[in-house]
Amino acid sequence: MLKLRETRTRLIQLVLALGLYFSVFAASYALRNLSTSLNGIWPYLIPISGCLLPLAWAYAFWRIPKMPVSSPPGSPWCPMMAGVIFVFSAAALLQFFISYCRSLIAASSKQVLSAEVKDVTGIQRIASGDDFKRVMQLLQLCPERPEDRNSVQAIGAYFSLLSFLRATLARLVPSMRAWTESERGQCAYFAAVALERRISFSRDMLAQQMDA
């Protein structure tokens, strides 16, 4: 955590930079779905914002001087304020992450799987959470597409989070158990859609090599 001697201005600068980064992260995917004509621009927003984040933090540490806060030394308000800001930042990060993953799932749910992928994965109409690991193993066998690398990793982390909730809180709340099961199944369907894209990508690469 930040030292107690650091100013509230520096702390606010760090939190605002982090919030701005995740806002750009979520907005870039939403705008990419709304405007498909600019697909060549949106993938660069996240790396650019990722480079600006450490620059903003460096500015906060180098340019904003250390000054004693108004609370006296040993006051419990300083660590309490830092803890509250940390909790809200973590909650905002989790909210952006879940929103991003659910937007990925919503986009993939509109696509219909081909008969070939249905036969390979065993998913006909509705996927189950138990299908996720098997589909991910098949997905790793295909050449990686640069376009879906981050999204596949994000859905994998989201599935792990859902599995953790299913094994802990969902045991106490039946409604959460049904929700986690539904979300895990949609993660498996997303993996199946990604598998179909990678199969098509592999065929295109093979066709280009044969033409060459």
Same domain, yes or no, for 143 and 91?
no
The model's pTM: 0.65
Same domain, yes or no, for 99 and 21?
yes
pLDDT at 3 over 50: no
pLDDT in tens, 165-194: 888 888 888 778 888 999 999 999 999 999
pLDDT at 57 over 90: no
How many distinct structural domains can be found in the chain?
Answer: 2
Tokens of 176: 């959460």
- Residue span of the structural domain in which 15 resides: 8-109
Same domain, yes or no, for 46 and 12?
yes
The whole-number average pLDDT for the span 138-148 is: 84
Same domain, yes or no, for 121 and 170?
yes
Model pLDDT, residue 159: 95
Same domain, yes or no, for 14 and 104?
yes
The whole-number average pLDDT for the span 39-50 is: 61
Same domain, yes or no, for 105 and 144?
no
Model pLDDT, residue 193: 92
What are the distances in angstroms from CA 212 to CA 2, 3, 77, 204? 57, 61, 68, 12
Same domain, yes or no, for 187 and 122?
yes
Task: Tell me if 2 is assigned to some domain.
Answer: no
Out of 94, 109, 124, pick the residue that ends a domain. 109
Same domain, yes or no, for 154 and 133?
yes
Out of 76, 109, 142, pick the residue that ends a domain. 109
Burial (CB count within 10 angstroms: exposed 0-12, middle 13-18, buried 19+), residue 108: buried
Cβ proximity of 142 and 133 under 8 Å: no
Task: Tell me if 1 is assigned to some domain.
Answer: no
Task: Tell me if 176 is assigned to some domain.
Answer: yes
Out of 109, 143, 164, pick the residue that ends a domain. 109
